[in-house]
Every structure is written in C-alpha cells, then in structure tokens.
Structure 1
Amino acid sequence: MDQKKLNIIETSIKLFAKKGFSSTSVQEIAKAANISKGAFYLHFDTKDDLLYELFEHYWRRMQKRINEVSSTPMTPKEKFIHQLKVSMEEVADHREFIIMQIREQVIPFNDMIENLIRRMRYHSVMFYRNHILAIYGSEAEPFAWEASLTVQSLFKTYIDLMIMDNMEFSLLKVAESIANKMDAVMEGYKSGHDCPVITNEVISRVIPENFQLNQMKDIMTQLQEIYDQENDVDLKDTADLLLQELTSKAPRPAVIKGMVFNLERYDEYIDLSSQIRAHYM
C-alpha cells in the first residue's frame, strides 16, 4: 500500500478511537496526518471510503499473519494455537482499531462496508469451524458450527479483558487454554448431553450476500471469476492452475502451496488464499 495512504489510515484510526467516527472530520484527519485536505481526497473519495479501506487493511494484515502460520509444519492443534496467538498479537498491536469498533455502536455503514464486515464475521466463524474439523475429524461435523461460536466467544472475552481492562497475559498460554477448553466443549457434545442449536440451516440464513455455505464451491467460483475477469496474465495463470489442481482426483499439495503463495501477492485475494489454505494446507 502507498505509504501516504497508510499514514492516513493509521492516523485516522487513532482519531476515530478517541473521538468517534462520526465526530471526526476530514479536516482533522488531514491536519493530524500532516497533509492538505486536497491530498486526503487524492486517496479517498469520502470518509466512508477511508473506513472501508481501514477495515480491509487490518483484516488483510491479520490474514497474512495467520497464513504465515499455515505454511509451517505443525499438528492441527498446534497450528490452531499459534494462529490464535498471532491473532491476539495483531489485536494488541492495533488496540485503537478495536476501541473504535467498541466505541462506535452505530457506524453509518454504506452497503459496501456492511457487506465487508459480514464477510469478515463469517470468515472468522469459518476459521474456528475448519480448525475444529481438522482437529477432531468428521465426527465433529454435527457440532462444528455451535462449537465454533462457543470458542469464538471465549476468544472475544480474553480480547475484551486485554483491550478494555488493560490486562496482560502470556498470549501463548491464553491460546493453549482456549484450545484445551475446546477439547472440553467437544467432549460435552460427543457425550450426547447437549444438542447443537446452531446448524447448517441456521447458518445459511445469516451468511453474507453472494457467500456460499459450501466453502469449496465458493473457492471454485472465485477462482473462475479471476480467470474470466482479470487481465493480469500471472494472476489468470495462477487461477487456472488452481482450478485444475483442486478439481483433480489427486490434488498435489506442493503445487497448491506454490499457487497460493502467488495468489497472496495480491492484497484483494488474501481472503481467498486463506480459504484455500484452510482446506488443503
């Protein structure tokens, strides 16, 4: 990202955390960033555009960190623990971003921002669900959505203590504790003493527009759109090779890994690369 644009984003998030999005003017952002108001509008058409890119910027940062862990050989549970740890590190490093979201109970979203946030929420649930299935296998399928939301709530509780109450923890110990509690949650479901309320049917009612519950189908759709619509030859070739590999009877992990690495060079496809990693890496 252009350094001047990044400076505006990082400056604005501090102002939004302090004053709120609605109460912060473009003039105040420009002054704090040491640029003219006209220079602001060279990078962002409106303050809402800035907000959209702000959310997208921090979401992509988080996904890049998580993807780095995905590339390291580990057991499924070890991978989950370390991805939780880097997620908490990103939250701690960008405390103002979380404070802004808590402070602004009603941000004047446009449709684009609202859809982005819904996609982020859904990806977050899918993150936990994919890990649950990787760790506990297909027998966890009936409980995977409910367990995902349960573990996500636990994660959020620790984040609230860190951000709002300034409590300090060993992030590795917190991540290990969450993973161990997930073991207990899954044992409870397996014992038959609890019946999940959150099922595929329930989730299908809340997924974002144009998002498909069948994640593999969604991956293929996005790759086909890249191949059909993008002009970048390298990107088209990457999508084409992934389409061929993912539909083959024996997908080759090394080829998929190489193509996903190529895909990650394009910021707008960080989410897609994360989805592919969750399934194959």
Structure 2
Amino acid sequence: MKARKQKEIIESAIKLFAENGFTNTSIQEIVNDCGISKGAFYNYFPSKEALHIAIFEYYFEQMRTRTHEIDNEQLPPREKLTKLLSVPFEQLTQQKDFFMVYMREQSFSINKELRQVMEKTQFEMLAWYQNNLKEVYGEKIADYTGDIIMLIEGIRSSYLVAILIQDLQIDAALVPTFIMNRIDDMVDSFEKGEEPIMKRNLLNIFTQNSLDTLSISEKVSSLLEDMHEQLEVMNFSDEQKEGLTGVIDFLNRELEKPAIEKYTFQGMLANLKTVKEFDIYREKIANLLGLQLL
C-alpha cells in the first residue's frame, strides 16, 4: 500500500517537474495533483528534495531492470548490444516527462545526494559499456574503449534531444543499428593506426574523480553495494541469489575488520566470477586492495 502511494506521488511530481521545473513546483501542487494532504505527503517523503532523489532512483531502477532482462535473453553479443542500445528510446516513449527532468538535472545538480545517485548510475553505465563492447569486439579495443563510449553517448544523446526537445520525427528503431555501424567504423579506423583521443580508461577516471574523498574500504564497500543491488534484479534462483548474497555480506564484514585478511578476501571474491556482470567490479576491487584475481 505504501509503495503504491509513493509511486503515485512520484508520478504526479515528475509530471509537474517536467512542466514547471523543480524549483517552481510546490509540495502543495504535488499533493493537490495526487489527491492527498500535505501532512500525508510527509509520511512518504521527508522533503521535496527527498522526493526528487526518489524519482531518479525509481526510473533508473526501471532502466536497470530492463537491461538485465535483455542480458538474460542469452542473445549473441552483437545482437544483445544493439538491443541494449535501444533501451533509452523504448523508455522515452513511456517516460517522456522523466527524460525532460533528467536532461535538466544532469547539468544542474540540486544537491549532493542527487549527484551521488547520478554518479552511481554513470559508473554502472560505463561498466556495462566496457563489458558488452569487449564481448562484441574482444580485448583488441581495450586502448580505445573510451573513444567508442564517447561516440555512443554523443550520438544517442543527440537523437534523444532531437526527439524530446526539438520534436523531430525520427524513427528511433533505426538508431541502435546506426550506432553499431559507427562503432564498426571506429574499430576499423583504430586497427588501421588512428591514434585514440582518450588516453585513459573512462571507468578509472570516473572512479578516481568521484570517489577520491573515500577511504579504500569505503570505495570497496560502495562497489559491493552496487553488486548487491544488481543481484536483486538478476535472473537467478532464490538459492543462487542467497549464496551470492552471502559472499557479498561476508566481504562487507571483512571490510569492517581493523586489517583486511587479503588472502581470505581474494578467495571469497573468486566466488563471484560466475557472474560476468560482476567482472568489472571484481577487477576494480582487486586493484584497490592490491589483489590478484583468481
């Protein structure tokens, strides 16, 4: 019951934020739209800012769930990546108001908590890109993955803006295949000797810039939390999820010790290698702790 009412409030707010902006929308307008009292609103959200963050978490989770559904279809790598690239365009037809708010807020952060939600999603996106591009093109693209990701995001964002803001009549179903063809062109060009522009791994740059204020244990804990959240929507049996959750919980408990037992941590981390989506997280954790992946 509470979850349903929270969803109703979120959907009312996202419509009003898209129309009028966050600052120009009052809590009174939100409660009027969804038919509750202002007092009742605070039973669900402590503030308008908290509601704003919940909106982003709600819609990012929907997109995350959709990508995992495609991951679990066991498609050939190229077909899977093409289908995954279509997800934002699928979502745009269903969640136009959210995209209006997102395109405003990705440039103007309202508060630290919202920025953290966006950064977490960006980290997941970069990890997702690296894993799927490697599946399609192999290790040969390691030195220029950053350039490929910049190309993908540039094209995809431009077409989303054209459809959403400029109201151009574009067949969005053609965009994923168009992007894949442009990736092929880039890979071919780099193989012929063109110099990459991005000299460093985008995921490493992002992690360094966003997590520099955290201790190593806090960084590892953040990565484990991301893995735990992804596990909740993955297509595993209850028994498999319980086992993998137990591994993550064990690793979190190890982090709480005054000194991490590295060999124990290394051995338990190896138990997560059966989940390919976790490869990039395991690699990052191993680098932070100075471990060799088993």
Deviation for aligned residue 1:58 = 0.3
Deviation for aligned residue 1:248 = 4.7
What is the TM-score when the length of structure 1 is the normalising length? 0.76
Amino acid at match of 2:120: R
Task: Go from structure 1 to structure 2 and tell me whether the alpha carbon gap of 1:5 and 1:82 turns closer, same or farther (over 3 Å shift).
Answer: same
- SS of equivalent to 2:22: coil
Uncovered stretches (5+) of structure 1, i.e. residues with no partner: 226-232, 258-274
- SS of equivalent to 1:166: coil
Uncovered stretches (5+) of structure 2, i.e. residues with no partner: 230-237, 252-266, 283-294
- Asked whether the equivalents of residues 211 and 218 of structure 1 are also in contact (C-alpha less than 8 Å), the reply is no
For 1:128 and 1:4, the matched residues in 2 are separated by 35
- Aligned partner of 2:14 in structure 1 is 13
Task: Go from structure 1 to structure 2 and tell me whether the alpha carbon gap of 1:131 and 1:102 turns closer, same or farther (over 3 Å shift).
Answer: same
How many residues end up aligned between the 2 structures?
250
- Asked whether the equivalents of residues 70 and 277 of structure 1 are also in contact (C-alpha less than 8 Å), the reply is no
Name which of structure 1's ranges 237-246 and 115-124 shifts more when overlaid on structure 2: 237-246
Deviations 1:101-148 (A, max 9, x none): 334553421x22111111122222332222221111111111112211
For 2:215 and 2:118, the matched residues in 1 are separated by 13
Task: Go from structure 1 to structure 2 and tell me whether the alpha carbon gap of 1:71 and 1:143 turns closer, same or farther (over 3 Å shift).
Answer: same
- Aligned partner of 1:117 in structure 2 is 118
The answer to whether the aligner puts 1:37 opposite 2:60 as a matched pair is no
Deviations 1:210-252 (A, max 9, x none): 599xx99975576699xxxxxxx98764412578886159x55
Task: Go from structure 1 to structure 2 and tell me whether the alpha carbon gap of 1:98 and 1:145 turns closer, same or farther (over 3 Å shift).
Answer: same
Q: RCO higher in 1 or 2 (8 Å CA, sep ≥ 6)? A: 1
Amino acid at match of 2:84: Q
- Asked whether the equivalents of residues 26 and 37 of structure 1 are also in contact (C-alpha less than 8 Å), the reply is yes
- Asked whether the equivalents of residues 132 and 148 of structure 1 are also in contact (C-alpha less than 8 Å), the reply is no
For 2:119 and 2:33, the matched residues in 1 are separated by 30
- Aligned partner of 2:98 in structure 1 is 97
The answer to whether the aligner puts 1:206 opposite 2:209 as a matched pair is yes
What is the TM-score when the length of structure 2 is the normalising length? 0.73
Task: Go from structure 1 to structure 2 and tell me whether the alpha carbon gap of 1:42 and 1:216 turns closer, same or farther (over 3 Å shift).
Answer: closer
- Percent identity, aligned pairs only, is 22
Deviations 1:62-118 (A, max 9, x none): 010111000112111100111111231112311111212334553421x22111111
